[in-house]
Chains A and B, each alone.
Chain A
Amino acid sequence: MSGQRNRPENSASVKRPNGAKRPSEEAESFTRRQKTERRDPGGQPVKLELDGVSKRYGTATALDSVSLTVDDGEFFTLVGPSGCGKTTTLRCIAGFESPTAGTVRFDGESMDGVPPEARGVGVVFQNYALFPHMSVGENVAYGLRFVDPPGGVTRDERVAELLELVDLAGFEDRDPDSLSGGQQQRVALARALAPGPDILLLDEPMSALDARLRERLRQQVKRIQSELGVTTVYVTHDQSEALAVSDRVAVLNRGRVEQVGEPRDVYHRPHTEFVAEFVGENNVFHGVVRRSLTGQRASPGDVVESRLDPEGVVVEVDGHSFTLEGVDKSVGESLTFCVRPENLRTGTETNQIRGTITGTEFQGATTRLGLDWEKTELTVVVADDGDTTYEVGQELVVGFDPDAAHVVE
């Protein structure tokens, strides 16, 4: 985040040039007032706001009252499984779809009825969508047909500048078809950035590339984004990608926002069972709080006992008792908690689980085990020391620390 706060001086040149055509002083001060009023706790002005945006196709609901804010200069990621509505959200922002209900605002101004060409967004699609009948240079220059190049340079200079930015200097006359997938995607990025968009929208831009290339391009996109300080909304189904590049992440499921937060926060403190299972791997347990560890015994139905000391509770799951810490639940309440596979350890004495290995996957530094316990399949990740072997059918005891469990809704 802090990287974007001090945007480099040249970032102004990336702004959409017709922004230079400020209509009047009053309008400008109005815009500024708007901007200063709308600040999130982080202190950055809100660039993009989705206010109760819903999208329905006939009876099917693609988006169900999605509300989000994205700060100026932020790298914001929408992540979720296919069909969760992340691409629909992006298309509503770009103006390719109009919301059935709710409003999309840029800098506090409603985008209702504003066509895509007037929104000042740059879009990069998964399949690049380069114009096949134009050269690389013509592709990048296309957006400059409608606006003057930012920063007072000529079109050709701007194109060269952008191609250099994406490490494709001198590729102007090449045919898009002659480029590799990664190169094509970088051309698409340069094309989207050339007119100096206010917001950059990336719709699964890496999905068609192989893993290694994806990682490299991801770094490059992130670097360019922070150099230019352009507000970016990134859509991906790959949660690890989302965690790797984003300032903040919104996890979407079935058209709803499950959780918004910084990657670390979302990973370690998922709010819902869905987020727990979608972001990273997780083992989810459903149980009932049986007693508090602060002394008082409580039985189910004992309503006199209101809130327990969050120091510790005993939770019963399928007849087994587990001790958890930091739980804000009453005795008798049911709860769901999760434990990361790497936190189920063979050496841990507390909260032991005895299961049968159902599968092993050697992954280099670690080995991933499937563990059958009470008819549920748990996942355990153990460090591979090169000596210990794990066989299918073998019995294994793992345990977790009371503070390794995280309660979700």
Chain B
Amino acid sequence: MSTIDTLTDATRTPIRWVTRTLEQRLLSFVAVLTAVVLFVLFYYPVATVFVDAVVDDGAFTLEPLTEILTSEFYLVDIIWFTAKQAFYSTLASLALGLPAAWLFARFEFPGRETLRSLTILPFVMPSIMVAIGFVATFGRNGTLNRALTAVGLPPVELLFTLEAIIIAHAFYNAPLVARVVTAAWESVDARAVETARSLGANPRRAFRDVVLPQLLPSVGIGATLTFIFTFASFPIVLALGGFQLATIEVFVFAKVRDLAYAEAASLAVIETVISLTLTAAYLSYEGRQRAAGGAANPLPRQSVVPTTWSPKSALRTVGIAAYTVVVGLVFIVPIASMILASVTGADGGLTLEHYAFLAERQATGATYQVKPLPAIWNSLLFAAGTLLVAVPMGVTMAILTTRRYRGRTLIDALAMAPFAVSGIVVGLGLLRGLVFGVDVFGTRIRVTGALAIVAAHAVGAYPFVTRNVAPLFSRLDDRLVESARSLGATRTRALFDVELPLVWTGVVAGAAFAVAISIGEFDSTIILAEGAGRYTMPVAVERLLGRRLGPATAMGCVLLLVTSVSFFVVDRFGGRWGEL
């Protein structure tokens, strides 16, 4: 048997045997490596936080935990407030996102596709930059108050209020709701509605009986995700609420800043447990609701401008126009305000003094002061590092999560856990563990701040790679790989020759996400960059914000530019956002 001969030939020379075995086992090898990396970069740090919460001076204690859980301050002012703002934010996101889903799914208008793909934008926007935008909008001298003063109305104080936080959260999550619900709406088969109509249902009734039941699961998914994300929201609340309106995350950060690690860890544990429970509930719900995908006959779209005018259609057109204004206010004004504020002087005139300030700081600033160029350099460096770690990890996870094997659900859950655990917790764990130093077999192992930051970013970014790549993998026919293998390709060759070229758009999109997330990451970076010279652009923005708004907005604009470039890459190579 000729082919066997080849095999025995190969086993004769050790080098060929090694390369061949490596080729055959590469996938398992990378999988194990991914598991190890995930353990070191994620599970170990998180475990460190859990241990920190219950071990004091080497003795087991529940004191910090019980202290928090019996304290009215923590229960009402922190935990209850966190849940409350998440709930209101969810309602606001639904209110803002559902009309968009209706417009995207049922109407035809110029730029619909572009707008739809732009709904991904908030996801890659650095949250601290959005926060800055809102400060520039709602602040005492913000765009809103300027506009109010211009028309002779009294100014309003929205900064450090719950409303500002909720609107900023809607900025992030309404597009998510819109995207998820649009996808469900587009998968409703027009024939099902036509059948209902032919059976005697009027349009309203057909909507209620046929369309709505198919939309509700997606509304539920959008709402749950929004709640999970806003429950763990950090930079927005930090910038817009300060420590007066603190969520659990913000308070963990405050405690870390005060070096009260045990308290910080206990709070982080409580938050993680709540987040993981919510995520587990979400995942089981999502698993049961998975839609079949695009319908063969989607519902027809109509023009936004009615062809025949009636009181009803006029009312609808007015409604759509009003909604467009609200969307403009929520999504465009904050970014525009930030740009505007960066070129507005104290006297209200146009100026470049804030950029000049950054340049001057770069030239003459003291070592402890934040300089713009190191921030940009660090951001790009960490992004490159994140790319190198997160892309192979994410692709491997995508392969593992699209296979059928025993215990897959467990692997899925373990792999997706970083999605649900906040950056603050990972950052804290990395700080307390690897950065402070760990004893392994008598050797003290320490990781520098830069490596820890890359690790935290990679852990946060790789689920996005997986989420971009996995749907493409699952759409690949197993027969393709089997064909390649029967033609003589090893499993690894088949991966490189057949699978990767076919999921390449997803890999590139995932990579762009990873870069964007790394550049915008704030939660763990601010913990790990604390005190060190390892600050990134978002951290620089936050530090500058503590002093004056102008330079912070200027730095924010730099951040916007870099993020826009990475979004351009996402939009250029990707184009499949429905799954996220």
A binds B: yes
Q: Which residues of A contact B (CB under 8 A)?
A: 15-23, 27, 31, 94-96, 106-107, 109, 114-123, 125, 127, 129, 131-133, 142-143, 145-147, 188, 191-192, 194-195, 197-198, 201
Q: How many angstroms between the C-alpha atoms of A272 and B420 in the bound complex?
A: 59
B486, A129: Cβ atoms closer than 8 Å: no
Say whether A123 contacts B477, CB under 8 Å: no
Q: Cβ of A94 and Cβ of B1 under 8 Å apart?
A: no
Which residue of chain A is the closest to B490 with respect to CB atoms? A117
B149 in the interface (beta carbon within 8 A):
no
A19 to B4, CA, bound (A): 9
Q: Specify which chain B residues have a CB less than 8 angstroms from the CB of A20 in the assembled complex.
A: 2
**A344-B557 Cα distance, complex, nearest whole Å:** 89
Identify which of A22, A129, A145 contacts B479 (C-beta below 8 A): A129
Verify A117–B4 contact, CB threshold 8 A.
no
Contact B9 A143 (CB under 8 A): no
Query: Is B3 part of the contact surface with A, judged by Cβ < 8 Å?
Result: yes
* A19 to B479 alpha-carbon distance, docked (Å): 26
Residue numbers in B under 8 Å from A146 (CB-CB): 487-489, 493
Residues of B within 8 A of A (CB): 1-9, 24, 477, 479-480, 482-491, 493, 497-498, 501-502
Given A94-B482, A116-B482, A129-B479: A143 touches B488 (CB 8 Å cut-off): yes
Nearest first, the 9 closest Cβ-Cβ pairs linking A and B are A19-B2, A146-B488, A143-B487, A129-B479, A116-B485, A120-B3, A123-B486, A125-B479, A129-B483
CA distance A40 to B503 in the complex (A): 48
> B1 and A129: CB pair below 8 A?
no
Q: List 14 A-B contacts (CB under 8 A).
A: A16-B3, A18-B5, A19-B5, A94-B482, A118-B6, A122-B487, A123-B486, A133-B502, A142-B497, A143-B487, A143-B488, A145-B497, A188-B483, A195-B487
Contacts of A129 in B (CB 8 A): 477, 479-480, 482-483
Inter-subunit contact A18/B6 (CB<8 Å): yes
Q: Which of B482, B489, B490, B498 contacts A125 (CB 8 A)?
A: B482
- Contact call A145/B488, Cβ cutoff below 8 A: yes
Smallest CB separation, A35 vs chain B (Å): 11
Report B501 CB to chain A, min CB distance, Å.
5
A15 interface neighbour in B2, B5, B24, B498, Cβ under 8 Å:
B2
- Considering the chains assembled together, what is the distance between the CA atoms of A117 and B7 in angstroms? 10
Shortest C-beta distance, A266 to chain B (Å), equals: 29
Q: Name the A residues within 8 Å of B498 (CB-CB).
A: 131, 133
Q: Write the nearest CB–CB distance from A336 to chain B, whole angstroms.
A: 40
Closest B residue, CB atoms, query A108: B1
Q: Number of A-B pairs whose CB atoms are under 8 Å?
A: 111
Q: Which residue of A lies closest to B7 (CB)?
A: A118
A245, B209: Cα distance in complex, Å:
53
Choose one: A127, A132, A192; the contact of B486 (CB below 8 Å). A192
Q: How far is the CA of A29 from the CA of B284 in the complex (A)?
A: 61
Assembled-state Cα–Cα distance A334/B266 (Å): 79
Give Cα A118 to B24, complex, Å: 12
> Is the CB–CB distance between A21 and B2 below 8 Å?
yes
Residues of A within 8 A of B480 (CB): 129, 131
Further 11 A-B residue pairs, CB within 8 A, beyond A23-B5, A117-B493: A18-B2, A18-B5, A95-B485, A115-B24, A117-B489, A129-B479, A142-B489, A142-B497, A145-B488, A145-B489, A195-B488
Contact B2 A198 (CB under 8 A): yes
Contacts A127-B479, A131-B480, A142-B497 known; A109 to B486 CB distance under 8 Å? no
B484 interface neighbour in A17, A121, A142, A194, Cβ under 8 Å: A142
* Least CB distance, B17 to chain A, in whole angstroms: 14
Cβ A192 vs Cβ B6 within 8 A: no
Docked complex Cα distance between A147 and B4 (Å): 14
The smallest C-beta distance from A18 to any residue of chain B, in angstroms, reads 5
Residues of chain A within 8 A (CB-CB) of B2 are 15-21, 120, 198
Best-surrounded residue of B477, B486, B497 (most CB of chain A within 10 A)? B486
B479 contacts A114, C-beta separation under 8 Å: no
Task: Name the B residues within 8 Å of A145 (CB-CB).
Answer: 488-489, 497
Partner of B485, one of A15, A115, A194: A115
Q: Looking at the assembled complex, report how far the CB atom of A232 sits from the nearest CB atom of chain B, in whole angstroms.
A: 14
| Bound Cα distance from A143 to B485, whole angstroms | 9
**Whole-angstrom distance between the alpha carbons of A17 and B6 in the complex?**
11
Chain A contacts of B5 at CB under 8 A? 18-19, 21-23, 27
Q: Please, which residue of chain A has its CB at the minimum distance from the CB of B8?
A: A23
Q: How far is the CA of A17 from the CA of B1 in the complex (A)?
A: 11
A127 and B1 alpha carbons, distance in the complex (Å): 30
In chain A, what residue has the closest Cβ to B483? A129
Q: Are A18 and B477 closer than 8 Å at their CB atoms?
A: no
Cα of A194 to Cα of B498 in the assembled complex, Å:
18
Q: Measured between C-beta atoms, what is the minimum distance from A60 to chain B in Å?
A: 14
Q: Is the CB of A191 within 8 A of B487?
A: yes
B residues near A31, Cβ cutoff 8 Å: 1
A21-B9, A133-B501 given; A96·B482 CB < 8 A: yes
A116:B486 contact, CB within 8 angstroms: yes
Residue of A nearest to B4 (CB): A109
Most chain-B Cβ atoms within 10 A of its Cβ — which of A17, A22, A123? A123
Query: Considering the chains assembled together, what is the distance between the CA atoms of A129 and B477 in angstroms?
Result: 7
Alpha-carbon distance A93/B171, docked complex (angstroms): 57
Q: How far apart sit A27 and B3, CA to CA, in the bound complex (Å)? A: 13
Interface centre among B4, B484, B488, B501, by most chain A C-beta atoms within 10 angstroms, is: B488
A27 to B9, CA, bound (A): 13
Find the B residue at minimum CB distance from A128.
Answer: B479
List B contacts of A198 (CB < 8 A): 1-3
- How far does the alpha carbon of A100 sit from the alpha carbon of B498 in the complex, in Å? 29
Contacts of B483 in A (CB 8 A): 123, 125, 129, 131, 188, 191-192
Nearest CB in chain B to that of A27: its residue: B5
CB-based contact A121/B486 at 8 Å: yes
Rounded to whole angstroms, the CA-CA distance of A359 and B9 in the bound complex is: 66
Chain A positions within 8 Å of B487 at CB level: 117, 122, 142-143, 146, 191-192, 194-195
- Complex formed: what's the CA distance from A15 to B5 in Å? 14
- B477/A21 in contact, CB under 8 A: no
Q: How far is the CA of A262 from the CA of B298 in the complex (A)?
A: 51
Expressed in whole angstroms, the minimum distance between the Cβ of B27 and any Cβ of chain A is: 13
Q: Please, which residues of chain A bring their CB within 8 A of the CB of B7? A: 114, 118
How near does chain A come to B488, taking the closest CB pair, in angstroms? 3
Write the chain A residue with the least CB distance to B482: A96
Name the distance in Å between A119's Cβ and chain B's nearest Cβ.
6
Q: Which residues of A contact B501 (CB under 8 A)?
A: 133
CB nearest neighbor in A for B6: A18
Least Cβ–Cβ distance between B6 and chain A, in angstroms: 5
